[in-house]
Amino acid sequence: MFVSGRVQGVYYRASTRDAARERDVDGWVRNLDDGRVEAVFEGPESAIEEMIEWCHTGSPAAAVEDVEVEYEEPSGHSGFQIRY
């Protein structure tokens, strides 16, 4: 998933991690050089859909313009981490 808008420097990654952990979703989130945030979510379909919906708003200081979702086969992530 790719999220664009004002999503860097506004605690978007940390908020995503917290939201994912609350929903027992595995995966990771990271900033991209082009200003977007990339995230991978794995878990129950209902929890993934909740995370996708959450990403449209994100952290309180974020201004999300677009969320691009791509579905792939799970790759076995354990826990949820911020990547640098």
| pLDDT (tens digit per residue) in 23-79 | 999 999 999 999 999 999 999 999 999 999 999 999 999 999 999 999 999 999 999
> Of 23, 31, 36, 83, which is the active-site residue?
31
> Of 13, 21, 30, 83, which is the active-site residue?
13
pTM of the model: 0.95
pLDDT computed for residue 83 by the predictor: 97
Would residue 6 show up in a list of annotated catalytic residues for this protein?
Answer: no
pLDDT computed for residue 53 by the predictor: 98
pLDDT computed for residue 48 by the predictor: 97
Would residue 31 show up in a list of annotated catalytic residues for this protein?
Answer: yes
Q: What is the DSSP string of 13-31?
A: HHHHHHHHHHTT-EEEEEE
What distance in Å separates the CA atoms of residue 34 and residue 23, rounded to the nearest whole number?
28
